[in-house]
């Protein structure tokens, strides 16, 4: 009696143990995940250096002076017990430890910050940098990925802030292109490009595709409900089981089943995969992150488009000024040609001077056609970006050398995480890749599917909705798990982990690339600006030399060669000045784009 009572209890315990094993054993012995190497922290400011140091390339330094023999401790001895900012980097002999070694004797270059605490920029709080609210606070937490140091130890470099008047955490990327470029004609071209550019229209469809993918993933973890009706005809052989049974049965007393047998059905079916391990919801969230990433990717293309239109516009202005320079030079040379011809007619000159001046005029006249061709190509490039067929581009080419746009404020590097759309897109992809790993992990565990159906079925429509005789229903639960040959699931799991590590490195590379682009462009703006000021002085001296050479040539106190060289050097200097100005404006546009400017019309 006791044995029979304990038997159902033992069966229940065995069933419970089997269910627990079915649920938890598949998750055992999962492949071990690999981790990506952490990146260097992002610097607090954008730095530059004036020269490379020998330590940066592992070259030996000059021998140091002998230590003083006096009993009085020197400054180095007094500072011996003071801990280093980055930890103890010296050995017992006082030599710097080579901990950042790369490929043999090459060292990672380190950057020495200024010792002045008054001018030091405050470090931006991570949450403040992302939200963009409030003044900077101390310490970046968590550490951001980026270069730890930038250049050599010997040269102390100051952080670059092109305009020192506003607070250094101000950022030009928050300005719209209307405010930054301050040129209504250029702003109108950018507006047309945002409306008519074909690449942006293609990206808009990519956003729609990503949005539809989110909707599809959202529908997968909800129940599927189907409603349908069917009608059919079935004739069973009497020499089969079904035919023999139907022959022996009667629908009603004295009434057999019709032969052939009709079948009418109206039913509703429900199927639902219970998302126990969040596999379907994680897939939905991953698709949502990728949808947001496509929006950020479109914003990045917008910044590139704005920069490309602005660069082409300024290049067009430069070509207009070069064409104008050629016209002025040709006029000056034609006057010199007339003087040479007059001197030849008076017997005070030779045919050689006339021929040389004439050749110089013809050379510059032919150069005009080449510049006009470049103008046509740049105009058509702008028209292509605007999504329209070739036509003249309206522009203002006056006072090009002194042309300036809004003052550039670079802010602090941590603002790149919020302002750069490509960094935001890489961050979205990294979040989606992490969820893909969770989706792949969930495939090791059992899946629970529930299916149910309810309807009416009869061989005659008159009996179709007779209850409960014509009523049919069913409920089925399926619990499936992978047991043998899980190599495909393990491979998918490892691949998801590898793609996640790729996303980490892509995110680190995006930050490193953004920081490098900003540093390159702001130093380029600064250096080209200084070069322009010097070239202006050079051009002023050459203009005076041309005027002097012309006067001396008219009074027969200078040779024609001196006049030719002076005019040629003046034209070349003016051409180079225009080209340098164009490169400076291009660097300014690229710096604006590198900071994340131009991504949205409202500047946010």
Residues 78-113 have pLDDT tens digits of: 333 333 433 344 444 444 333 333 333 322 222 223
168 has pLDDT over 70: no
* Residue 582 scores a pLDDT above 60: yes
Question: Is residue 555 situated within a structural domain?
Answer: no
pLDDT interval class at 412 (50, 70, 90):
confident
CATH number, domain of 458, equals 2.20.200.10
Domain presence at residue 378: no
Q: What is the SS3 assignment for 101?
A: strand
Contact (Cβ atoms closer than 8 angstroms) between residue 274 and residue 424: no
Place of tokens 């495909």: 488
Is a pLDDT exceeding 60 seen at residue 577? yes
Question: CA Rg, the chain, in Å?
Answer: 40
In a domain? residue 373:
no
* Average confidence (pLDDT) over 434-452: 92
Evaluate whether residue 244 is within a structural domain: yes
pLDDT for 71: 43
Instruction: Give dist(CA 338, CA 355) in Å, integer.
Output: 11
Say which residue, 151 or 190, is predicted with more confidence: 190
463 within a domain of the structure (yes/no) = yes
Please state the rounded mean pLDDT for residues 231-253: 81
* 374 is a domain residue: no
Domain count, the chain: 1
* 410: pLDDT strictly greater than 60: yes
User: Does residue 581 register a pLDDT over 90?
Assistant: yes
- Tens of pLDDT along 123-144? 323 233 333 333 333 232 333 3
Cis status, amide bond into 516, omega within 30 of 0: no
> Which segment of 159-173, 346-360, 476-490 scores lowest on mean pLDDT?
159-173
- Residue 227 lies inside a defined structural domain of this protein: yes
Q: Cα 16 to chain center, whole Å?
A: 52
Question: Where residue 48 falls among pLDDT bands split at 50, 70, 90?
Answer: low
pLDDT > 90 fraction of the chain, expressed in percent and rounded:
44
Rounded CA-CA distance 582/576 in Å is: 10
Domain containing residue 451: 223-274+447-480
- Candidate ranges 161-170, 247-256, 403-412, 454-463; pick with highest mean pLDDT: 454-463
Indicate the helix (H) or strand (E) that contains 457: strand 447-458
Q: What's the whole-number mean pLDDT along residues 524-550? A: 92
Model confidence over 327-350: pLDDT tens digits?
999 998 898 888 888 888 888 888
Confidence label for 527 from pLDDT (cuts 50, 70 and 90): very high
Please, what is the average pLDDT of the chain? 77
Residue 360 has pLDDT above 80, yes or no: yes
Q: pLDDT higher for 297 or 116?
A: 297
The answer as to whether 182 is a domain residue is: no
pLDDT of 96 reads 37
C-alpha dihedral over 132, 134, 135, 138, to 10 degrees? -80
User: What is residue 58's predicted lDDT score, i.e. its pLDDT?
Assistant: 38
């Amino acid at each position: 009696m006791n044995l029979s009572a304990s038997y159902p209890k033992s069966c229940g315990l065995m069933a419970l143990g089997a269910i627990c094993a079915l649920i938890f054993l598949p998750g055992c012995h999962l492949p071990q995940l690999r981790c990506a190497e952490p990146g260097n922290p992002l610097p607090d400011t954008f730095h530059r250096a004036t020269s490379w140091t020998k330590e940066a390339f592992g070259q030996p330094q000059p021998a140091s002076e002998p230590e003083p023999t006096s009993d009085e401790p020197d400054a180095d001895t007094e500072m011996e017990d003071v801990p280093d900012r980055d930890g103890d980097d010296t050995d017992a002999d006082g030599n710097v430890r080579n901990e950042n070694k790369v490929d043999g004797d090459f060292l990672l270059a380190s950057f020495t910050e200024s010792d002045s605490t008054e001018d030091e920029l405050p470090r931006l709080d991570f949450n403040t940098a992302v939200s963009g609210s409030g003044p900077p606070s101390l310490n970046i937490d968590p550490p951001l990925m980026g270069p730890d140091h930038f250049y050599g130890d010997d040269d102390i470099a100051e952080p670059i802030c092109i305009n020192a008047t506003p607070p250094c955490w101000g950022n030009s990327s928050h300005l719209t292109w209307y405010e930054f470029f301050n040129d209504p004609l250029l702003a109108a071209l950018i507006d047309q490009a945002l409306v008519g550019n074909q690449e942006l229209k293609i990206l808009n469809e990519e956003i729609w595709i990503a949005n539809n993918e989110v909707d599809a993933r959202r529908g997968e973890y909800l129940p599927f409900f189907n409603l349908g009706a069917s009608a059919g005809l079935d004739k069973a052989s009497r020499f089969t089981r079904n035919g023999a049974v139907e022959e022996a049965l009667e629908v009603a007393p004295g009434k057999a089943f019709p032969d052939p047998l009709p079948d009418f059905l109206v039913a509703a079916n429900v199927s639902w995969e219970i998302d126990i391990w969040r596999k379907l919801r994680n897939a939905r969230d991953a698709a949502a992150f990728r949808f947001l990433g496509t929006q950020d990717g479109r914003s990045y293309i917008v910044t590139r488009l704005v920069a490309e239109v602005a660069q082409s516009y300024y290049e067009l202005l430069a070509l207009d000024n070069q064409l104008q320079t050629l016209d002025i030079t040709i006029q000056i040379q034609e006057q010199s040609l007339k003087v040479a011809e007059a001197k030849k007619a008076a017997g005070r000159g030779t045919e050689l001077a006339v021929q040389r001046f004439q050749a110089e005029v013809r050379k510059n006249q032919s150069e005009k056609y080449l510049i006009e061709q470049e103008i046509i190509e740049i105009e058509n490039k702008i028209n292509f970006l605007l999504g329209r067929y070739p036509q003249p581009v309206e522009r203002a080419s006056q006072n090009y050398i002194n042309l300036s746009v809004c003052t550039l404020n670079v802010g602090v590097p941590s603002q790149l995480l919020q302002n750069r759309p490509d960094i935001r897109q890489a961050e979205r992809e990294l979040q989606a890749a992490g969820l893909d790993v969770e989706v792949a992990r969930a495939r090791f565990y059992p899946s629970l599917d529930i299916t149910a159906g309810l309807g009416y079925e009869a061989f005659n429509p008159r009996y179709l909705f007779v209850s409960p005789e014509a009523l049919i229903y069913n409920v089925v639960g399926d619990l499936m798990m992978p047991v043998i040959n899980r190599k495909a699931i393990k491979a998918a799991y490892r691949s998801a982990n590898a793609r996640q590590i790729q996303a980490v490195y892509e995110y680190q590379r995006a930050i490193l690339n953004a920081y490098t682009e900003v540093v390159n462009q702001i130093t380029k703006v600064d250096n080209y600006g200084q070069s322009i000021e010097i070239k202006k002085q050079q051009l002023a001296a050459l203009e005076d030399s041309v005027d002097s050479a012309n006067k001396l040539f008219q009074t027969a106190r200078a040779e024609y060669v001196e006049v030719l060289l002076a005019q040629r050097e003046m034209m070349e200097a003016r051409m180079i000045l225009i080209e340098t100005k164009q490169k400076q404006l291009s660097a300014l546009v690229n710096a604006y784009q590198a900071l994340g400017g131009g991504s949205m019309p409202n500047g946010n």
